[in-house]
Amino acid sequence: MIKVRFFASFREKLNCEQLTLQEGEYAPLLSALKSQLADQGEGWREVMMSERTLVAINQTMTRQDVTLRSGDEVAFFPPVTGG
């Protein structure tokens, strides 16, 4: 099982805060998970395909494609604007 979370404008755009996907329900590669989520609709496609989209795996940002493991928390969010 993995958790997929969305923050800020992405959460609002997708009207989705969190997804829980069981084994077999998600593609094991991050890039494949993104394609899978992109197929859920136009807004999803925009979020998943945008070059601005940031990804964190287990609360650490990554720019690489990785293999997802059960228990992972994957988060998608727009560029940060704190400070």
The single residue among 61, 62, 65, 69 that binds other proteins, judged by CB under 8 A, is 61
State the Rg of the chain over Cα.
Answer: 12
Q: In one letter, which amino acid is 53?
A: T
- The most distant pair of C-alpha atoms in the chain lies apart, rounded to whole Å, by 40
What do you get for the CA distance between the two ends of the chain, in Å? 34
Q: Please report whether residue 71 would count as binding other proteins according to CB under 8 A.
A: no
Q: Please report whether residue 60 would count as binding other proteins according to CB under 8 A.
A: yes
Q: Please report whether residue 59 would count as binding other proteins according to CB under 8 A.
A: yes
Residues forming contacts to other proteins in the complex (CB under 8 A) are 5, 7-9, 52, 56, 59-61, 75, 77-83
